[in-house]
Amino acid sequence: MEFVKFLQNPEKYEKLGAKIPRGAILSGPPGTGKTLLAKATAGEAGVPFLSVSGSEFVEMFVGVGASRVRDLFKKAREMAPAIIFVDEIDAIGKERGNGRMGGNDERENTLNQLLVEMDGFDTGDHVVVLAGTNRPDVLDKALLRPGRFDRHISIDVPDVEGRKEIFKVHLNKLKLAKVEEIDIKQKDVDFAKYQEFKTKAVENLAGRLAALTPGFAGADIANCCNEGALFAARENAKSVEVHHFEQAIERVVAGLEKKSRILSPDEKKTVAYHEAGHAICGWFLEFADPLVKVSIIPRGQGALGYAQYLPKDQYLTSQEQFRHRMIMALGGRVSEELHFDTVTSGALDDFKKITLMAQQMITHLGMSNKLGQICYDTSGDSNGGFKVHNNYSEETAKIIDEEVKRLIDEAHAECTRLLKEKIQLVDAVAEELKEKEVLTREDMVRICGPRPFLERNDAFDKYVHGDDAFKGKPKTKLDKDKKEADDQDSPSAATA
């Protein structure tokens, strides 16, 4: 809104001797709405909007990029007040002098011209330059200095309330089953009451879907809503229902179901026990994320099965959370070790995750008593993008390897102890998975009993814990179940 006020009433600031900021870098992951925010800023200010991609400046002919930059700024000055938006500015704005292969002269000439144009702004031009990138770390320092891009605005993925608001925008464009029910049932209700019912139905659905989609950007949410409508159309449904959106979320997260990939009975049994190991570990580990669904249906991203969890929106991760996540990731391999004579390649992705997690804990987060509170640069010295050597000694590298192995071995031992203790529940979950292929949270509660501690996820409690939020019913029984689980010295599932 700062730039909007500058462009709407520049005299207010110039009268006090202030200079209008010349530009801002909008940085963030793909799909978070950087371009949309730039358009909205121009629309709110009521000024012309000139949009161009960074890659459009670079051509095979020398001098074309610099010429296009000059033409763009000349046009903007003629239309002032105006906003220029350069999308993916890292295409021309990468730090100079790092090229080892040659062929960067044209890009550097274009960048130099951009720097000259931004320096050449007169304070009375009233032209603001916005630039979008998801790689702010590679931009040239001359581009980022004050006087060129004065503001650095970080646009992260939305939290649960932000996702809810984005879902509401896209859901209002769809024909929803819950809204159709209101249309049928509330014929005699006055319009204001009808609108209230309709708004509440959309809000409840948006909240549930927002809780099911942690980490989704705005573009992912738009895609999810569209996929839900496509699923409904394939089924010849008259409106889009909740299960259509849940199918869409699964497709975005885990890929398309590969119904043509038929597993042999032995493979199906192995996958069932593998996923049951993950599910049981997650169920009985306090700092594990709430489980929503576990499936052994092969997916397009190469997974033969997967478990869907709901990580909460948080900015800090404790050592115990890391440890429990590692134990949960090892649950599949340990379950195979306990139930079969040999293990399979199914734990490859799990090993990648826990190895990276352990390395981060040791080298970046100071969670090792041997190495202490030091952050080691594991990227090493580079030459033209190629790693040459680590920035620490061979002895330190050896200690890092030992500490990473120690963390993983400890997690493996704890996982083995837990699954041996809950071996009957692993068998029960695996057998039902073989039969049904998909188990929901309600199935897990029926088989294992309630989790032996309170869920620590506000979004999960508010929108997903049962159907309470969606149906608008009070959380009476579930709250009682949770209280009973807390009051018991040993939960019902632990007796198995």
Give, in degrees to the nearest 5, the angle at Cα 85 between 80 and 90. 140
Q: What is the pLDDT of residue 263?
A: 80
Q: What is the pLDDT of residue 121?
A: 60
Give, in degrees to the nearest 5, the angle at Cα 215 between 211 and 217. 105
Q: What is the pLDDT of residues 21-69, one digit of tens each?
A: 788 899 988 889 888 988 898 888 888 898 888 888 777 666 777 888 8
Return the CATH number at 87.
3.40.50.300
Handedness of CA 156, 115, 43, 219 (dihedral sign): negative
Q: Are residues 144 and 179 in the same domain?
A: no
In a domain, 457, yes or no: no
Q: Are residues 117 and 164 in the same domain?
A: no
Q: Are residues 145 and 171 in the same domain?
A: no
Q: What is the pLDDT of residue 461?
A: 64
The residue-averaged pLDDT of 326-330 equals 94
**Of 120, 154, 188, which closes a domain?**
154
Domain, as residue range, for 206: 160-254
Residue 24: HSE in the Cβ half-sphere, 13 Å Cα cutoff = 21
Q: What is the pLDDT of residue 1?
A: 65
Arithmetic mean of pLDDT over the chain? 81
Q: How confident is the model at residue 152 (pLDDT cuts 50, 70, 90)?
A: confident
Q: What is the pLDDT of residue 190?
A: 66
Position 237 pLDDT exceeds 50: yes
Q: What is the pLDDT of residue 160?
A: 87
The residue-averaged pLDDT of 239-262 equals 82
Asked, as a colleague might, if the bond just before 81 is cis with ω within 30 of 0, I would say yes
Q: How confident is the model at residue 469 (pLDDT cuts 50, 70, 90)?
A: very low
Q: How confident is the model at residue 338 (pLDDT cuts 50, 70, 90)?
A: very high
Q: Are residues 214 and 276 in the same domain?
A: no
Q: Are residues 44 and 189 in the same domain?
A: no
Q: What is the pLDDT of residue 476?
A: 37
Position 127 pLDDT exceeds 70: yes
Q: How confident is the model at residue 407 (pLDDT cuts 50, 70, 90)?
A: very high
Q: What is the pLDDT of residue 388?
A: 55
- Is 275 in the active site? yes
In a domain, 23, yes or no: yes
Return the CATH number at 237.
1.10.8.60
Give, in degrees to the nearest 5, the angle at Cα 275 between 271 and 281. 150
Which residues neighbour 300 within 8 Å (Cβ) at sequence distance 6 or greater? Answer: 254, 255, 256, 257, 258
Question: How far apart are alpha carbons 394 and 49 in whole angstroms?
Answer: 55
Position 484 pLDDT exceeds 80: no
Residue 202: HSE in the Cβ half-sphere, 13 Å Cα cutoff = 20
Q: What is the pLDDT of residue 12?
A: 84
Of 10-19, 297-306, 483-492, the poorest mean pLDDT is in 483-492
In a domain, 37, yes or no: yes
**Of 254, 283, 306, which closes a domain?**
254
If one compares 353 and 94, the residue with the highest pLDDT of the two is 353
62: amino acid identity, one letter: V
Q: Are residues 233 and 117 in the same domain?
A: no
Q: Are residues 150 and 169 in the same domain?
A: no
Of 201-210, 395-404, 481-490, the poorest mean pLDDT is in 481-490
30: amino acid identity, one letter: P
If one compares 237 and 379, the residue with the highest pLDDT of the two is 237
Q: Are residues 109 and 200 in the same domain?
A: no
In a domain, 165, yes or no: yes
**Of 136, 154, 172, which closes a domain?**
154
Catalytic residue among 117, 275, 336, 414: 275
The residue-averaged pLDDT of 193-207 equals 81
Question: How far apart are alpha carbons 26 and 308 in whole angstroms?
Answer: 32
Position 186 pLDDT exceeds 80: no
